Amino acid sequence: MRLAELSLPELESRLTQGLGLVTGPFRFHLTSRQKRVAQGLHALYADFEIGTFDYYDYHVRLAHPAGIRRWLRPQIFFWLDDFSPFKPLPADHDFAQLEWGMNWCIAGHAHHYLMLHAAVLEKNGQAVILPGDPGAGKSTLTALLALSGWRLLSDEITLIDRDDGMVVPLARPVSLKNASIDVVRNFSPAAVIGEAARDTHKGTVAHLKPPAESVARMAEKAMPRHIVFPRWRDGAAARSSPHSKADAFIHAASHAFNYSLLGELGFTLTAQMLDCCDCRNFEYSRLSDALEFFEGLVA
């Protein structure tokens, strides 16, 4: 059953009891009484499979702290089982906190995979990995590619399966920050963007709904073929140059969530990924140049 088959009130009611949500290989059990959480899920996860399952990878819950404090300054805690990894956030950041919390569950526990801090998209059977450097415009590019016919595999966490070295999709919403929210909104009338959370530790944050096709194909893995280090620079002409694999290795390893935890396996998986990938730098200022460049990569 798809989440869109529930009306918003039905979804709210299901969430108070606990809702099973499938994202890639993971089943989350979500519990929340927050209206904004239901609205966010309803807007952005409409195409995702929901259900009642016997086993969940992560039982997560968003809840107010007990006591009078909840009336003075509404705050919200994220829980995995009986453990709350973060400081509470203002209650109006609850949906953003759910997104971060789900990322935290995966990044901190799913060690069957090598987990890189990178976005990843696929076209023509080729996965393109975009490592996340602050200010590189990774999320903006990811959103634009997803809105231009590319299959969104993941925005924040690139999962590499230890069994076959393939990229495993999550297809969750793309997290957009500050100015990029309007860039994406203006780029395509098809962009569905959730309610913005303002003044978070990352500024204003809003999420882009993943394309229905990406969600429908979330069980389909993809072979990593390209690693692109993008750089947006005002007024720059589009320019691409080779990036050394040794450097890409160190970059991927030092930005991964569990490279060192996996020990020798981490080394082997990263090396095998680089064996299959062509690595490039890409500098640009115009979005149309960027789309053309990425089309050219997988042509």
Partner 1 sequence: MKPACSDLILALTSPPAMAGFTPAQWDRIVPQARAAGLLGRLGALAAQHNLAAALPKPVWHALEAGLVFAERQALAVHYELAKLDAALAGLGIPVLVLKGAAYVAAGSPAAAGRMMTDIDILVPKQAIHDTEAALMLTGWVSSHHDAYDQRYYRQWMHEIPPMQHIRSGTILDVHHNLLPETARIRTRPDLIIAAACPLPDRVCLHVPSEPDLILHSATHLMHEGEWKHGLRDLSDLYALIVAASDRHDEFWPQLAERARELNLERPLALVLVQLQRIFGLQAPALDLPRARRFGDRIIRDLLTRALSGYHASCRLPLTGFAEFILFVRSHWLRMPAHLLIPHLLYKAVKREKVTAEEG
Partner 2 sequence: MSLPSHWRVPFHSKLIWRRWPDEDEYVFYHGASGDTHRLSELAGLIMEQALAAPVACATLAEWLREQGDTAPEATLEHVFASLIRLEFIEPVAIEPGNAAG
What single-letter DSSP state applies at residue 83? B
Closest C-alpha to 102, from 171, 178, 196, 30: 30
Supply the minimum distance, in Å, between the C-beta of residue 245 and partner 2: 4
Per DSSP bridges, beta strands 223-232 and 197-200 are unpaired
User: In whole angstroms, how large is the CA radius of gyration of the chain?
Assistant: 19
Q: Is position 162 an interface residue for partner 2 (rule: CB under 8 A)?
A: no
What residue type is assigned to position 221 of the chain? Answer: K
CA count, 13 A, side-chain hemisphere, 214: 33
The window from 103-111, 138-146, 199-207, 271-279 that contacts partner 2 (CB under 8 A) reads: 271-279
Q: In what order do the strands lie in the sheet with 174-177?
A: 174-177, 203-208, 197-200
Q: Is position 183 an interface residue for partner 2 (rule: CB under 8 A)?
A: no
Choose, by CB under 8 A, the member of 150, 249, 284, 293 that binds partner 2: 249
Six-digit token string for 51: 């259900």
Q: Is position 82 an interface residue for partner 2 (rule: CB under 8 A)?
A: no
Distance CA 274, CA 276 (A): 5
Q: Is position 244 an interface residue for partner 1 (rule: CB under 8 A)?
A: no
CA count, 13 A, side-chain hemisphere, 148: 18
Choose, by CB under 8 A, the member of 49, 57, 92, 289 that binds partner 1: 57
Distance CA 192, CA 14 (A): 23
* Total count of residues recorded for the chain: 299
Supply the minimum distance, in Å, between the C-beta of residue 254 and partner 2: 9
Choose, by CB under 8 A, the member of 53, 65, 198, 292 that binds partner 1: 53
- Residue 100: contacted member of partner 2, partner 1, none (CB under 5 to 8 Å, by partner type): partner 1
Supply the minimum distance, in Å, between the C-beta of residue 136 and partner 1: 14
Choose, by CB under 8 A, the member of 271, 286, 288, 292 that binds partner 2: 271
Contact status, residue 89 vs residue 139, Cβ threshold 8 Å: no
Q: Is position 262 an interface residue for partner 1 (rule: CB under 8 A)?
A: yes
Q: Is position 267 an interface residue for partner 2 (rule: CB under 8 A)?
A: yes
| Complete DSSP assignment for 86-137 | S--EEGGGHHHHHHHHHHHHHHHH-TTEEEEEEEEEEETTEEEEEE--TTS-
Q: Is position 150 an interface residue for partner 2 (rule: CB under 8 A)?
A: no
| Count, residues near partner 1 per rule CB under 8 A | 36
| Count, residues near partner 2 per rule CB under 8 A | 16
CB closer to partner 1, 54 vs 234: 54
* 136-195: contacts with partner 1 (CB under 8 A): none
Residues near partner 1 (CB under 8 A) = 25-27, 53-57, 59, 81-83, 85-86, 100, 103-104, 107-112, 117, 201, 250, 253-255, 257-263
Residues near partner 2 (CB under 8 A) = 244-247, 249-250, 253, 259-260, 263-264, 267-268, 271, 274-275
